[in-house]
Amino acid sequence: MPHISSARILHICKVYLPVRGGVQKVVHSITSLSKQHTHYVITSGEDGAIPKQKLNGTFITRSRSYLEVASMPIAPRMVGEIIKMAKKCHIICAHYPFPLADLALAMIIRLPPLVVYWHSNIVAQKKLKWLTYPLIYLTLKRATAIVVTSERMIENSTLLTRFRAKVKIIPYGLPTIRETPADTNAYTDSEYFVLVGRHVSYKGIDIAIRALQEIDTHLVIVGSGPLFEQHKLLTQTLGVNHKVSFERNACDDEVKSLIQGSAALIIPSTMHNEAFGLVQLEAMRLSKPVINTSLPSTVPMIARHQREGLTIEPNDPDALAQAMRQIASDKSWAITLGNNGYQRFNEKFTDIKFKLALDALFEELLAS
């Protein structure tokens, strides 16, 4: 294929904006940073979602999802949309894990250069391994490049180790903060910790709530999700509801303000569905320490133990309470951790560095 300065790039992902989440934010970041190309997103949507939309220059097609099986939306029309659009594009980016994309790609005889963005090792579909793994293996075999965020992701995946030669390590990035977020913080009068994430099982929100039994502090939990009411009930059952505030629909500026006013960000995730923890970068660029967990993913490689934060074992409320106690009791040390995080963010995780890596990847693919 000849060099093409402006290409049509197709992104296939499980869900997309306005649904919030780490993968959606990364896909949006890619499409925003690579403006020289035209981006198309094919994704699923619930009944009532806008089927065709142009958002910030990106063309979005949503196929209705009728139900979910093992966290995978069942959207039959999506297969046909992918096959039709693949013929018109110069590059395909499949954002994993999403077995429905594998099914569609398997039905295309001749593919343009294919990039697999391996956002997370496969957890939810393990029970369907006999069905999904042959298709995933085929996709990885046909891929021109596989993108991960760290060497750790390769080491903890038997599939990726088989295709190590085509794996590229590209960490995500965020814009640098040019100004302080508007002061919308309602908690400035009291010291608190903040947790940002959807109310789903692997986020460990229940672990954070249980940790409050051991420490006298306040926790602000930002996000919504299927376990929201269950987590609210848990705070009442444990008698810690006076220590917890729920912010269900905070906008981006409000999230920044809440992180900025906190003692630290906590990410008590329990499974390696949490592959990167993009919100860690939000905290680090605001000079805030991070408490994360020692997952077999990139998570503990972002804010490192006793350098930019603290890393504890997952599923351990006592360890989380102890880490929170350490941060709260030694403000000078917490400031040092936060400053280290700010420096690391600017050295490794800015959107400029992310864009340079993306530009190099797409140019390489287009020249192949």
List, for residues 151-195, the tens digit of each pLDDT value.
999 988 888 999 999 999 999 999 987 554 444 445 444 589 999
Cα separation of 335 and 202, whole Å?
Answer: 29
**E-state strands within 173-301:** 192-196, 218-222, 244-247, 264-266, 290-293
Question: What is the reported pLDDT for 159?
Answer: 87
The CATH architecture that domain 192-348 belongs to is 3-Layer(aba) Sandwich (3.40)
pTM metric for this prediction: 0.86
Question: What is the reported pLDDT for 181?
Answer: 46
Asked whether residue 65 carries a pLDDT value surpassing 90, the answer given is no
- Give the tokens for residue 355: 């864009």
3-state secondary structure of 96: strand
List, for residues 257-287, the tens digit of each pLDDT value.
999 999 999 999 998 888 899 999 999 999 9
Question: What is the reported pLDDT for 305?
Answer: 97
- Asked if 231 and 206 count as a contact pair (C-beta separation under 8 A), the reply is yes
Q: How many CA atoms lie within 13 A of 226 on its CB side?
A: 5
Backbone angles phi, psi at 220, to 5 degrees: -105, 120
Backbone angles phi, psi at 204, to 5 degrees: 70, 25
> 8-173+350-367 maps to which CATH number?
3.40.50.2000
Most confident of 66-80, 122-136, 292-306: 292-306
Which percentage of the chain shows pLDDT scores above 90? Answer: 70
- Asked if 250 and 308 count as a contact pair (C-beta separation under 8 A), the reply is no
Question: What is the reported pLDDT for 122?
Answer: 65
Asked whether residue 66 carries a pLDDT value surpassing 90, the answer given is no
**Angle in degrees, CA 50, 89, 164, rounded to 5:** 105
**Angle in degrees, CA 163, 164, 167, rounded to 5:** 95
For the residues 195-205, what does the mean pLDDT come to? 93
C-alpha of 330 from chain center: 30
Higher pLDDT, 91 or 21: 91
- Identical topology for domains 8-173+350-367 and 192-348: yes
- Give the domain ranges of the chain: 8-173+350-367, 192-348
- Asked if 146 and 163 count as a contact pair (C-beta separation under 8 A), the reply is yes
Asked whether residue 326 carries a pLDDT value surpassing 60, the answer given is yes
Asked whether residue 207 carries a pLDDT value surpassing 80, the answer given is yes
What string of H, E and C letters represents the secondary structure of 14-79?
CCCCCCCCHHHHHHHHHHHHCCCCEEEEEEEECCCCCCEEEECCEEEEEEECCCEECCEECCHHHH
